[in-house]
Structure 1
Amino acid sequence: MTSVSQGRSDVPEIDLTDSEVLRDPFAAYGAIRERSPLARLVIPGLGPVWVVMRYDDARAMLGDSRLEITSGSFTPPPGIPEDCLPYLRTMSDASPPEHLRLRRLVAPAFSPRRAADFRPRIEPIVERLLDDLTEDAKDGPIDLLERFARPLPMEVICELVGIPLADRPRWREYGATVAAGMGEGFSVALPGIVAGAKAAIARRHDTPGDDVVSDLVRVRAEDGDRLSDREMVSLVWHLVLAGQTPTNLIANAVGTLLTHPEQLALLRADPTLMPRAVEELIRWCGPVLLSIPRYAREDVSIQGTPIRTGEPVTAAIASANRDPRTFDDPDRLDLTRAGGPPGHLGFAHGPHFCLGAPLARIQTEVAIAALLRRYPDLTLALAPGELRHVPDPGTWRLPSLPVTL
């Protein structure tokens, strides 16, 4: 990641409170990217964070073992009960040897093949939610985010973890709370999630089923290593937290399709485009704007700029995924764009590539395919120019998605 020499003082800065950055991060980051491969984020209340702007550098940074995710990469909200704090430490902020061990043990339960096997259990969940949507829409436009995209991931997680049907309404409330951010309700929801995860694990010790918890209870490495119950509870918590990504991905994708009628028509005419379309939508309007910060274990250099030990570095995913050095005409949405490498960085890269990426892809494919099949007249219930995103510097997301079925 070394190249052109560049001093630390002439690196451009990006103010994350700037209205233009919040309104259109793709354009704001794109302008900086063409000026410099590296910038510094200015975050009120925190020190500056280095941000890598271009695809090749971002991919290299995300795979660089000298830059690691640590407990400093995550800031737990206040008010978390002390007995829940150990479960907040997940695989993501484990030390490299421990991270590798945990990843090796849990990866088979989240493989593309396991996700594909799970598709038949996602499809009826989607259909059931759409049945409710159809009933609600008799009174006029409905909010597709609130009524469909938000509840879907938690329903899938409940199925994945083996949460009893009687407990699922409470878990839906947990999911809505977690998806809303780390506010006051977050510290209230966490103890319930931890208690529910402990109960699910205890059940699967006694009565294994066809779910991820049962897979994890059964897994044992060749050397006899296996996950502890605490590690499994942490993983369930991590699933709840990271598993909310499809909420914003599905809402962004549907909103984008409805404002790009020519691309929507292509997809309606050829449903076999769906897997490729989902990859393009993740690239073009994925919810992740910035990667989880990494910290330098030693002095490193990115494009000739020295990054000192202990300094945080992030990748501007929104910028890298639209880098013209990697993608032809990157600001154009093209559902027929050829797949294969180089792929987008919407699920990161390297040791911390999103474990749940196969499941998120399948959820999104199933959700969009069912929407388009069941509602051929699906349209926005407002003018395309009125579709605004939440001014969130970390996540590209909609506050609502009003549609007419």
Structure 2
Amino acid sequence: MTTTIGNPAEAVELLSPELTADPFGEYARLREQAPILTGTLMGGPPMWLVSRYADVRRLVTDPRFVNNPASVPGAAPRDRFTIMKKLNIPTDLVDYLADKIFEIDGADHRRLRKLASRAFTARRVARLRPRIEEITNALLDRMAEAGSDGAPVDLMEAFSYPLPITVICELIGIDEDDRPQWHDWGSVLSTPMAHVERLPTVFRDSIGQLLDIIARRRAEPRDDLISAFIQAQEDDGDRLSDREMVSLVFTMVIAGHETTTYLLGNSVLALLENQDQLALLREDPSRWPQAVNELMRLGPAQFGQPRYPVEDVELGGVTIPKGDPIIPLLLSANTDPRKYEDPRRLDVGRDTGHAHLGFGQGAHYCLGAPLALLEAEVALNALFTRFPDLSLAVARDQIPWTLRPGFTRAEQIPLKLG
């Protein structure tokens, strides 16, 4: 049975120029227009959109909404090869790239997440703080050198991108000599449609290197995440397979560094535009952990991946038919005045906590959220301490924004260091 989702003529294009130019204003307009809307992504099939905080939170926490359309009773098996064929990925690599942790549901998801969580612990993340500080300071040294003659320095290229990918390489256990290669691969993997011709080679080379690292860590464990993945096991002896470990690493490299990259860029812009809030952080650096959660509330995540109801479910006054795709508008929810007072205002003293939906909620809450928050806290504090006179090198409306599904992302942020 085919369901007609709303009125196609009224569908909201999630990558429209209007949403890219003014996401806060456009989401506010849509949110007050209706709690449930019709949308599309790059002119694709229509989907339901959920715009208000209470409804979005329910969508991402209600187990009747699943991440994989094949989990809907009666649905046809998912063709894992379709998207891979479009990206020209060799079929022998599909098993390593499909069924990522955020694409599976139920018992399979609980098992994989439990095993991954036993390796990717809060203690392991906390132990990274000194190393994150070292990496941050080294990047700031390079920025200072590049801008010593007064030349503008691009924050995204010099800091926001290399910091998280370097930290992830450190965490995973990528050897120092191999990290420049992973910096390049990470850029390709995070924007696959812009590098379609390179994808087959990048996937084959990176998967081959990961399998080699797994074999070496199995013989000689180190204090890194791959060694911890190898050692993680359930009480009944269940362990992660090599395929599952490779898939987890790819998820971290793609989703992990991407979110932090955009969070850093957007946060610098927001703080430069709100000097009163920046002054509060300079007066009391202990505010940074709370401030980073507030900054994450305001971006960069615009919307999450589709969910699919396993039965007809009423949401926001609309019955969503079984199997229909429905997208949570995370930024719209996070700026809903029904939840937050003066929601578009940056307030580093706001007790945002973990109620915001920037990392999702429920069973699929972002596994890497503690790492992203720690990186942003360390990096932003160090950046504004090192360069107290930091400012934009161009007018705010000249910052180029990139159409990236699901994210508010500045392509370049030219800065004057002092």
- Shift of the alpha carbon at 1:24? 1.1
State the Cα distance separating 1:222 from its structure 2 match.
Answer: 0.8
Q: How far off its partner does 1:8 sit? A: 5.0
Query: Normalising by structure 2, what TM-score?
Result: 0.90
In structure 2, the partner of 1:3 is none
Separation of aligned partners in 2, 1:255 and 1:143? 12
Q: CA deviation at 1:88?
A: 1.1
Q: Kindly state the Cα deviation for residue 13 of structure 1 after the two structures are TM-superposed.
A: 3.4
- Tell me what 1:151 maps to: 162
CA distance in 1, matches of 2:193, 2:8: 35
Q: Which amino acid aligns with 2:386?
A: R
Distance 1:18 1:132, change over 3 A: closer
User: Percent identical across equivalent pairs?
Assistant: 42
How far apart, in 1, do the equivalents of 2:8 and 2:233 lie? 52
| Counterparts in 2 of 1:181 and 1:104: CA distance versus 1, 3 Å | same
Residue in 1 aligned with 2:72?
A: none
Alignment of 1:15-26 (within 5 A): 15-26=13-24
CA contact (8 A) 1:63 1:349 kept: yes
Aligned to 1:238: 251
Cα-to-partner distance string for 1:330-384 (whole Å, 9 max, x where unaligned): 011111112436x110001111110000001111111111101211111111123
Helix, strand or coil at the partner of 1:182 = helix
Distance 1:386 1:111, change over 3 A: same
- Distance in 1 (CA, whole Å) between partners of 2:46 and 2:125 is 39
Which residue of structure 2 aligns with residue 401 of structure 1?
413
Q: Specify whether residues 215 and 295 from structure 1 end up closer, same or farther in structure 2 by C-alpha distance, changes over 3 A only.
A: same
Q: What is the CA–CA distance in structure 1 between the aligned matches of 2:253 and 2:63, rounded to whole Å?
A: 27
Closer/same/farther in 2, CA of residues 17 and 338 from structure 1, 3 Å limit: closer
Measured against aligned partners, the alpha-carbon deviations of 1:252-283 in whole angstroms (never above 9, x if no partner) come to 11111112211111111211110011011111
- Higher deviation after alignment, 64-73 or 219-228: 64-73
Instruction: Describe the SS at the equivalent of 2:351.
Output: coil
Letter in 2 for 1:61: L
The letter of the residue matching 1:115 is V
**Are positions 1:113 and 2:128 aligned together?**
no
Counterpart in the other structure of 1:283: 297
Q: 1:28 aligns with which of 3, 26, 34?
A: 26
The 5 Å alignment of 1:291-302 reads 291-302=304-315
Q: Which has the higher mean CA deviation after the structures are superposed, 64-73 or 218-227?
A: 64-73
Conservation of the 8 A alpha-carbon contact between 1:274 and 1:365: yes
| Residues 187 and 288 of structure 1, relative CA distance in 2, 3 Å threshold | farther
2: CA distance, partners of 1:195 / 1:387: 38
Pair 1:169 & 2:167 matched: no
Distance 1:124 1:389 in 2: 30
Partner of 1:386: 398
Task: Give the match for residue 226 of structure 2.
Answer: 213
> How far does residue 187 in structure 1 lie from its aligned partner after superposition?
3.7
Measured against aligned partners, the alpha-carbon deviations of 1:116-135 in whole angstroms (never above 9, x if no partner) come to: 12212211111111222222
Distance in 2 separating the partners of 1:213 and 1:147: 28
Give the equivalent residue in structure 1 for 2:262.
248
Aligned to 2:93: 84
Counterpart CA distance in 2 for 1:144 and 1:299 is 47
Partners in 1 of 2:315 and 2:115 — Cα distance? 33
Q: Deviations over 1:26-58 (max 9, x none)?
A: 211111111211111133442111111111110
Classify the secondary structure of the residue corresponding to 1:396. strand
Q: Which moved more, 1:347-356 or 1:81-90?
A: 81-90
Q: How does 1:4-403 map to 2 (within 5 A)?
A: 13-70=11-68, 75-76=83-84, 77-89=86-98, 90-139=100-149, 140-183=151-194, 184=196, 185-244=198-257, 245-284=259-298, 286-340=299-353, 343-403=355-415
Q: 1:25 to 1:211 in 2, by over 3 A?
A: same
Moved more, 314-323 or 195-204: 195-204
| 1:372 aligned partner, one-letter code | F
User: 2: distance between equivalents of 1:148 and 1:293?
Assistant: 31
- Note if contact 1:11-1:39 (Cα within 8 Å) is conserved in structure 2: no
Change (3 A) 1:73 1:351: farther
- The 2-side partners of 1:186 and 1:26 are apart by 34
Shift of 1:238: 1.1
Q: Which amino acid aligns with 2:155?
A: L
Q: How many residues align?
A: 397
**Which stretches in structure 1 are left out of the alignment for 5+ residues?**
1-6
2:88 aligned counterpart, secondary structure: coil
What's the CA shift for 1:401?
A: 0.8
The question of whether the paired residues in 1 share the 8 Å contact of 2:115 and 2:239 is answered with: yes
Distance 2:88 2:6 in 1: 38
Structure 2 residue matching 1:138: 3-state secondary structure: coil
Query: Mind listing any 5+ residue stretches in structure 2 that lack a counterpart?
Result: 70-77
RMSD after superposition:
2.1
